[in-house]
């Protein structure tokens, strides 16, 4: 990849990060005002077609909310897309949180642990590494590139079974480490920070810090990290959603329900409801699902503008 | 006056002087500066533990066989031979290939349409559309599959409601005929928004003067899409394609969760990944499972490479 490409990647980041900061998109300020003037007439047909896509996107979430307000009996006997019977949302939430000695709360705590340590650690390692790649020349740098980029092509889940076998040899399975350690690596995050650091941290600043006798790590923590902040937020959000939604890895690594994250726990409740003679708790599965997505959806809505900038940087990768 | 006229040259000389001093770090490189390793080191250590080591370990495993008689023994490529002639493996590969060929173009096509629509400035409330359509990406695959799985239900799900209400006979989406389409729908729902944002971000980088110049030349909106927007989108489409290839061949979450709802239609070897998983966790056939994982990984990497190459070749 040439330096020109990298520069494009960065300018993309800026261009896409920009629009959402102001209420109106800055890129559309001068030039686009004219373009928009050329065809300001909004198309109703286009809006209707996109409306269909919108309904498709939101319908399952609406279904989830409606059905989390129903009792187990109403769930089976009422029309799925509208409210029916008593508004049982609060009862369902209480039941979900207290079922089985509050195991759901435990799973919630586990998920938070995996997300904080996993996503936080992944962001930190990517920041250190990406910065190192962008700002230093060292022996073996090309080999590092080749190996990391090659690893992006290796499908994550293909590695899960071998990783499980290896971790079980090492006695790591059924511990939080089995979930956290693999989450710590984000090749895509490393790539993002690397492209971001090229421009965001001027080499002159580092030179000046060296002249003043600041150690490399001190410079990194006091100066560079601040300059990298927007890139860091992007990586943090990517890893956050990835770890919150992680299912395959914990499913393989954990056999003890006490260490389950929410995703694996919900799946287990659903299976229990399917089994003959099992406690039928569809209302808890549905309410639990709702409680699982609320935090991540809220985080997502608040921070979605950073996502777009991150994806923009990634889109120029090829 | 004199100072003014002498200033520019002196400024130039200074900048000429400044250049070599700025390049000072370069000679340090020749002295083999290892400082960079202090930064990339921690990443590489974890990387070696959770990525490189499992790859090497599974390659090692794939050359051995654990038998009741004779214990663990080196068998060369026997496991590979077994996998390549295993009808269950090929059935699962065929299924994900069909899935990839049908689902990926539909998903990318809708995402492309949505991205162009949002970028066109002809849409009412476009930023609301953008966020709402992107939202499903934040929903965990487990929750997405549970929701759709319930809705697919013919007895008390939405499909059942529709059948009762309109006296229809919509076939069971989780029956043999429709189950792959039902899974395709879930995956499409999850990733349309992600790909849309990917394309939209690429569209935003196109300089607007290009559109102006084109419309001055009399090009209409469709001509602009074909001649300016689509070529500019190619790298983003390639990225979306590669991610989708990897996703299709790695299909696991959706079928494995639906399995409890449709145990008769979703077999233990529905996708190659489910096969590898079940070989390990129900069959204890670790060596064979590792072999399957390696073959799937290799095939995925090759196809992802082909997608990338065909994408960039057209670019030239």
What is the tens place of the pLDDT at every residue in A17-65? 333 333 334 444 444 444 444 455 778 888 889 999 999 999 999 999 9
Q: What does pLDDT average to over chain B?
A: 82
Q: Does B211 touch chain A (CB under 8 A)?
A: yes
Residues of A in contact with B144 (CB under 8 A): 60
Q: Categorize the per-residue pLDDT at B87 as very low, low, confident or very high, splitting at 50, 70 and 90.
A: very high
Q: CA A75 to CA A69: how far, in whole Å?
A: 9
CA distance A14 to chain B (A): 10
- Does the beta-carbon distance from B261 to A274 stay under 8 Å? yes
CB-CB under 8 Å, B290 with A161? yes
What is the spatial distance between Cα B305 and Cα B274, in angstroms, rounded to a whole number? Answer: 24
Q: Which pLDDT score is estimated for B177?
A: 80
Tell me the CB-side half-sphere exposure of residue B281, using CA atoms within 13 A: 18
| A139 in reach of chain B (CB within 8 A) | yes
What pTM was computed for the model? 0.81
- Residue A276's pLDDT is what? 66
A80:B22 CB<8 A: no
Q: What is the pLDDT of residue B34?
A: 85
**Does the beta carbon of A240 lie under 8 angstroms from any beta carbon of chain B?**
no
Min distance B204 CA to chain A CA atoms (Å): 7
How far apart CA A47 and CA A255 sit, in angstroms, is 49
Q: Nearest Cα to A201, choosing from A171, A177, A222? A: A222
Q: Which residues touch A60 (CB under 8 Å, ≥6 apart)?
A: B136, B144, B147, B148, B151, B189
Q: Check CB contact under 8 Å for B276 and A129.
A: no
On the CB side of A91, CA atoms within 13 Å amount to 9
Instruction: Indicate the residue of A35, A297, A318 with minimum beta-carbon distance to B308.
Output: A318
- Does the distance separating the beta carbons of B147 and A53 come in below 8 Å? no
Distance to chain B for A271, nearest Cα, Å: 6
Write the ipTM.
0.81
Looking at the complex, does the CB of residue A285 fall below 8 Å from at least one CB of chain B?
Answer: yes
CATH 3.40.630.30 fits A3-24+28-41+88-315, yes or no: no
| Three-class HEC string of chain B | CHHHHHHHHHHHHHHHHHHHHHCCHHHHHHCCCCHHHHHHHHHHHHHHHHHHHHHHHHHHHHCEEEECCCEEEECCCHHHHHHHCCHHHHHHHHHHHHHHHHHHHHHHHHHHHHHHHHHCCCCCCHHHHHHHHHHHHHCCHHHHHHHHHHHHCCCCCHHHHHHHHHCCCCCCCCCCCCHHHHHHHHHHHHHHHHHHHHHHHHHCCCCHHHHHHHHHCCCCHHHHHHHHHHHHHHHHHHHHHHHHHHHHHCCCHHHHHHCCCCCCCCCCCCCHHHHHHHHHHCCCCHHHHHHHHHHHHHHHHHHHHHHHHHHHHHHC
Q: B246 or A179, which is more confident?
A: A179
Q: Does B246 touch chain A (CB under 8 A)?
A: yes
Size of interface A-B (CB pairs under 8 A): 332
Torsion of CA B78, B82, B83, B84, to 10 degrees: 100
Q: Which residue on chain A is closest to B287 by alpha carbon?
A: A162
Given a contact cutoff of 8 angstroms between Cβ atoms, the answer to whether B140 and A244 are in contact is yes
Say what the pLDDT of residue B242 is: 84
- The model's pLDDT over A92-143, given as tens digits with 9 standing for 90+, comes to 899 889 888 889 999 999 999 999 999 999 999 999 999 999 999 999 888 8
B132 contacts in chain A (CB < 8 Å): 54, 57-58
- Residue-wise pLDDT for A284-315, tens only, equals 889 999 999 999 888 877 776 665 555 555 44
Residues of A in contact with B221 (CB under 8 A): 39
pLDDT, mean of residues B167-181: 81
Of B131, B156, B246, Cβ closest to residue A304: B131
- Tell me the two tokens of residue A260: 């389950």
Facing B38 at nearest CB: one of A216, A245, A286? A216
Given A16, A39, A63, which is nearest B122 (Cβ)? Answer: A39
The whole-angstrom separation of Cα A58 and Cα B258 is: 21
Q: Which residue has the tokens 């899935």?
A: B99
Looking at residue A139, what DSSP letter applies? T
Give me the mean pLDDT over the B60-89 stretch: 86
- Write down the domain spans for chain B: 40-76, 85-315
A window 83-102, beta carbon within 8 A of B: none
Structure letter (DSSP) for residue A42: P
Fold of B85-315: MetI-like fold (1.10.3720)
Q: For the CA atoms of chain A, what is the radius of gyration?
A: 24
Q: Is A170 on the interface with B (CB under 8 A)?
A: no
Q: Do B33 and A216 touch (CB under 8 A)?
A: no
Q: Where are the domains of chain A?
A: 3-24+28-41+88-315
The reported pLDDT for the residue numbered A119 is 94
Tell me which chain B residue has its CA closest to the CA of residue A16: B201
- The answer for residues whose C-beta is within 8 angstroms of residue A309's C-beta and 6 or more apart is A13, A14, A16, A17, A230, A234, B201
HSE-up (13 A, CA, CB side) for residue B77: 4
């Amino acid at each position: 990849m040439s330096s020109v490409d990298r520069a494009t990647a960065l300018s993309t980041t800026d261009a896409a990060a920009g629009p959402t900061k102001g209420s109106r998109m800055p890129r559309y300020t001068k030039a686009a005002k004219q373009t928009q003037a050329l065809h300001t007439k909004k198309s109703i047909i286009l809006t209707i077609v996109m409306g269909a896509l919108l309904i498709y996107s939101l319908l399952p979430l609406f279904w989830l909310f409606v059905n989390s307000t129903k009792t187990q009996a109403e769930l089976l006997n009422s029309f799925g897309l509208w409210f029916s019977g008593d508004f049982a949302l609060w009862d369902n939430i209480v039941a979900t949180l207290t079922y089985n000695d509050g195991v759901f709360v435990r799973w919630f705590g586990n998920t938070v642990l995996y997300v904080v340590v996993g996503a936080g650690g992944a962001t930190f390692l990517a920041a250190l590494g990406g910065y190192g790649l962008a700002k230093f020349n060292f022996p073996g740098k090309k080999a590092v590139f080749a190996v990391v980029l090659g690893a992006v092509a290796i499908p994550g889940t293909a590695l899960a079974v071998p990783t499980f076998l290896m971790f079980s040899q090492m006695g790591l399975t059924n511990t939080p480490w089995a979930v956290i350690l693999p989450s710590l690596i984000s090749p895509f995050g490393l790539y993002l920070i690397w492209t971001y650091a090229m421009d965001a941290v001027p080499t002159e600043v580092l030179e000046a810090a060296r002249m003043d006798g600041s150690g490399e790590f001190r410079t990194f923590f006091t100066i560079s990290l601040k300059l990298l902040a927007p890139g860091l937020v992007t990586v943090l959000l990517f890893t956050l959603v990835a770890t919150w939604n992680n299912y395959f890895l914990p499913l393989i690594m954990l056999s003890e329900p006490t260490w389950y994250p929410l995703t694996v726990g919900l799946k287990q409740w659903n299976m229990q409801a399917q089994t003959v003679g099992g406690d039928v708790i569809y209302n808890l599965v549905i309410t639990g699902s709702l409680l699982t997505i609320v935090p991540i959806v809220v985080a997502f809505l608040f921070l979605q503008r950073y996502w777009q900038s991150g994806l923009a940087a990634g889109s120029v990768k090829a | 006056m004199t100072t003014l006229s002498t200033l520019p040259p002196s400024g130039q000389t200074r900048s000429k002087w400044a250049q070599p001093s700025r390049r000072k770090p370069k000679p340090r490189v020749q002295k083999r500066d290892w400082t960079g390793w202090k930064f990339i080191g921690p990443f590489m250590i974890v990387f070696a533990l959770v990525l490189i080591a499992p790859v090497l370990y599974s390659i090692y495993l794939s050359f051995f066989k654990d038998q009741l008689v004779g214990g663990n023994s080196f068998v060369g490529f026997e496991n590979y031979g077994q996998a390549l002639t295993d009808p269950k493996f090929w059935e699962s590969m065929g299924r994900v290939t069909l899935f990839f060929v049908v689902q990926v173009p539909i998903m990318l096509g809708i995402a492309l349409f949505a991205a162009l629509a949002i970028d066109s400035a002809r849409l009412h409330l476009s930023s609301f559309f953008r966020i709402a359509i992107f939202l499903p990406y934040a929903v965990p695959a487990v929750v997405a599959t549970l929701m759709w799985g319930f809705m697919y239900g013919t007895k008390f799900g939405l499909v059942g409601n529709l059948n009762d209400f309109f006296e229809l006979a919509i076939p069971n989406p989780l029956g043999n005929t429709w189950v792959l389409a039902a899974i395709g729908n879930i995956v499409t729902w999850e990733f349309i928004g992600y790909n849309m944002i990917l394309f939209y971000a690429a569209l935003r980088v196109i300089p607007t003067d290009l559109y102006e110049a084109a419309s001055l030349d009399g090009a209409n909106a469709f001509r602009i899409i074909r001649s300016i927007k689509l070529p500019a989108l190619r790298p983003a489409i390639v990225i979306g394609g590669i991610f989708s290839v990897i996703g299709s061949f790695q299909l696991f979450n959706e079928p494995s969760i639906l399995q409890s709802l449709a145990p008769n239609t979703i077999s233990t070897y529905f996708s190659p990944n489910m096969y590898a998983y079940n070989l390990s966790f129900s069959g204890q056939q670790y060596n064979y499972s590792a072999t399957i994982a390696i073959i799937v990984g290799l095939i995925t990497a090759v196809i992802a490479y082909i997608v990338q190459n065909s994408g960039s070749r057209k670019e030239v």
